[in-house]
Amino acid sequence: MPINESSFKYEIEKLQGSRIKVNVEVDAKEREQSLERAYKNLVKRYQVPGFRKGYTPRPVLEKYLGSEAFEDEAIRIVARDILNMILKNEKLTPLQDPYFDLLPEGWKENENLKFSIVIEIPPEFKLGNYKGFSIKREKIEVSEEEVDRVIEQIELQLSKLNSVEDGSVEKGDVVYLEREKEDGTQLPPLWFTLNGQMLPDLEEKLIGMKVGEEKIIEVNFPEDFYEKEIAGQTLPLKWRVKKIWRYEKPDEETFLQKVNANSLEEFRERVKESIREERERLEKDRLFAEILDKILETTELDPPLSYVHYLAENILKEFLSELNKKGLNLEDYLAQRGINRDEFVNNVIEDARRRIKIEMILDKIAEVENIDVSEEEVENVIKEIAENEGKDYKEIRRELEREGTINTLKRNMLREKVREFLIKENVVEEE
């Protein structure tokens, strides 16, 4: 027989992470009935020598298992009963299995039983302002000089790199340099492209040097130079040119064939449009980020702690994997950034908390504004994917169903719809 509701009382305390703590106190008069229920459970699980299983008298079983085992089982029975009653009475839907906090080790006679239950529940939040921010969109312009630079880079990628035996160093060349300090200490050799980006002062003095020629050149190494032992220093070094390579650009006909264009004018327009599209994408990202910042300012939301921890773990795993690909470990990264492990972990948790807040806000806006994704829209996107990959629609559909990613696809489509809605409602074009 379940515990009588009049035999216990409870108070609800709010915790961080969309959790509540229910502090419970059970009247001492429930102890004996709970111990009897504990006996009925335990007698089915344990067999005492000399008795058939399920028929051991209570005094014998209690002596065999110990009074602590009876009290522990009684407490667990009462705790489960009360948890179910609280969930029903308070109309609570836990996001994770609730857990008992501070369960006592025993239940002494004539004493009230006290314990706590921690329950994670869906957060209730009032959506803040999300319309009418009047954020200005920056005008997107692409200069001819920018187009020239991109085309020049593409030309270099399609060029041959030829060794220069008799000539001297020219702008745009790749050189292999040996370096030596004033005290004769040899530094590691340097591969260097004269493109005006890394060490412009050095470039000027290298131009005109031949293979085998050496010269003392004083160089200002920037603070972020990749060689930490000389970064931020001004050093006079002996530079020796060991090898020179020069790019041989393709002729116009070959270049147009490789970039699949009919004319340079056509390709310039294509490059210009590509730059414009990328800048428009970045501008949209900037606008959306600014809108989200403003929404977060007026929305009170404490996301579920389990969601935060789950996402934080995934963020951390992905980050460590990327560090590993670069040949770094976490200790190296923390030393470079000048932060300790606790600060780093807190930053990851705050990042996870912010991401979940944003997801929940976007879902709420979709609900309030009746923004949805139809099955027809999902099918059209799958058809587009199939066309781009040169596969059959049904084949792609089966793949997505097998991998369980159709709901993810639909969710991403909904996010994009809400994003476009927010930009439309909050962005004004620059006059």
Q: How far apart are CA 12 and CA 121, in angstroms?
A: 13
Instruction: For the beta carbon of residue 420, count every other beta carbon within 10 angstroms.
Output: 13
- Asked if 418 contacts 362 with a C-beta cutoff of 8 angstroms, the reply is yes
C-alpha dihedral (335, 337, 342, 346), degrees to nearest 10: -160
Angle at 372 between CA 367 and CA 375, to 5 degrees: 150
pLDDT at residue 103 above 80? no
CA-based nearest residue to 20, from 114, 113, 117: 117
In total, how many domains does the chain have? 3
**CB within 8 A of 398, min separation 6: which ones?**
none
pLDDT of residue 94: 87
pLDDT of residue 228: 79
Token look-up 């590691």 returns 188
253 in a domain, yes or no? no
CA 128 and chain centroid, separation: 24
pLDDT at residue 263 above 70? yes
Mean pLDDT of 27-55: 88
Helix (H, G, I), strand (E, B) or coil at 145: helix
Tell me: do 207 and 331 sit in the same domain. no
pLDDT at residue 165 above 70? yes
Query: Poorest-confidence range of 100-104, 249-253, 413-417?
Result: 100-104
pLDDT of residue 431: 59
Among residues 120, 151, 182, which one ends one of the domains?
A: 120
pLDDT of residue 1: 63
CATH code of residue 416: 1.10.3120.10
Mean pLDDT of the chain, nearest integer: 88
232 in a domain, yes or no? yes
Tell me: do 269 and 346 sit in the same domain. yes
269 in a domain, yes or no? yes
129 in a domain, yes or no? no
Check residue 168 and report its DSSP letter. B
Tell me: do 116 and 205 sit in the same domain. no
Tell me: do 277 and 216 sit in the same domain. no
**Strands of 8-15's sheet in order across:** 8-15, 19-26, 113-120, 99-101
Among residues 68, 99, 120, which one ends one of the domains?
A: 120
Tell me: do 375 and 341 sit in the same domain. yes
Confidence label for 347 from pLDDT (cuts 50, 70 and 90)? very high
pLDDT at residue 430 above 80? no
pLDDT at residue 2 above 80? no
CA-based nearest residue to 297, from 369, 358, 366: 358
142 in a domain, yes or no? no
Q: How far apart are CA 243 and CA 240, in angstroms?
A: 9
pLDDT at residue 187 above 70? yes
Tell me: do 316 and 237 sit in the same domain. no
pLDDT of residue 232: 85
pLDDT of residue 3: 79
Query: Poorest-confidence range of 114-118, 251-255, 397-401?
Result: 397-401
C-alpha dihedral (424, 427, 428, 430), degrees to nearest 10: -130
Mean pLDDT of 336-349: 89
pLDDT at residue 417 above 70? yes
- Asked if 92 contacts 119 with a C-beta cutoff of 8 angstroms, the reply is yes
CATH code of residue 169: 3.10.50.40
pLDDT higher at 203 or 404: 203
Tell me: do 175 and 100 sit in the same domain. no
Q: How far apart are CA 43 and CA 61, in angstroms?
A: 7
Check residue 96 and report its DSSP letter. S
Tell me: do 167 and 271 sit in the same domain. no
Mean pLDDT of 267-292: 94
pLDDT of residue 343: 92
Tell me: do 350 and 215 sit in the same domain. no
CATH code of residue 95: 3.30.70.1050
134 in a domain, yes or no? no
Tell me: do 286 and 375 sit in the same domain. yes
Among residues 120, 144, 177, which one ends one of the domains?
A: 120
335 in a domain, yes or no? yes
Amino acid letter, residue 430: E
CA distances from 282 to 55, 150, 279 (A): 75, 18, 5
Query: Poorest-confidence range of 196-205, 206-215, 297-306, 368-377?
Result: 196-205
Q: How far apart are CA 99 and CA 80, in angstroms?
A: 10
333 in a domain, yes or no? yes
Per-residue pLDDT tens for 289-312? 999 999 999 998 888 888 898 899
Expressed as residue numbers, the domain containing 315 is 263-429
Instruction: Please compute, for residue 253, the number of CA atoms within 13 A of its CA located in the half-sphere on the CB side.
Output: 0
pLDDT of residue 62: 84
Tell me: do 375 and 277 sit in the same domain. yes
Per-residue pLDDT tens for 109-162? 888 999 999 998 888 888 899 999 999 998 899 999 999 989 988 998 899 989
Tell me: do 198 and 278 sit in the same domain. no
* Percent of the chain predicted with pLDDT > 90: 35
pLDDT at residue 40 above 80? yes
Based on its alpha-carbon atoms, the radius of gyration of the chain, rounded to whole angstroms, reads: 35
Q: How far apart are CA 311 and CA 353, in angstroms?
A: 8
pLDDT at residue 268 above 90? yes
